[in-house]
Amino acid sequence: MLKAYLPVLILVLVAAGFAAFAVVASYLLGQHKPTRVKMAPYECGIASPGYGRTRIPLRYYTVAMLFLLFDLEVVFLYPWAVTFKKLGLFGLVEMMVFIGILLVGYIYVWKKGALEWD
């Protein structure tokens, strides 16, 4: 069973190796002449004002919380999708009930304006 994960392991090793190679090679082969401007965090060409770690509004957290809940819905969809053929129509109805209940929550969230930004 674990043999099926061998390609995943190889992919992880190749990815980690490539990342490490890129960093180490550029460190060893490149020239190092750091100036203040060069070392500044670069985003899109405009000099960044202030400290990078300012406090962000609570709204982001609301979206994050709602995302977590719908992510948990996906967790249930995963074993369902794997066994979909075996369960047949019964499984479909079950999942529709499950999604239906969560859809009520989604409509509630929408109507209460939790997805609005103002």
Partner 1 sequence: MAVLIAKWVIFVITSLLAIVSSLLMITRRNTIHSALFMILAFVASAILYLLLGCQFMAMIQIIVYAGAVMMLILFVIMMIDLSKEEKLKMKVTRTKIAGVIVSVLFMLALILVMGLNSVKGKLGALSSIGDAKTIGTLLFTKYLLPFEVASILLLAAMVGAVMLSKKKAFGGEDQ
Per CB under 8 A, residues contacting partner 1 are 1-3, 5, 9, 51, 53-56, 58-62, 64-69, 71-76, 78-80, 82-83, 86-87, 90-91, 94, 97-99, 101-102, 104-106, 108-109, 112-114
Nearer to partner 1, 31 or 116 (CB): 116
Nearest Cα residue to 75 out of 104, 91, 95: 95
Shortest distance, position 77 Cβ to partner 1, whole Å: 10
Shortest distance, position 31 Cβ to partner 1, whole Å: 28
Shortest distance, position 104 Cβ to partner 1, whole Å: 6
Nearer to partner 1, 33 or 112 (CB): 112
Shortest distance, position 36 Cβ to partner 1, whole Å: 21
Separation of alpha carbons 96 and 80, rounded Å? 11
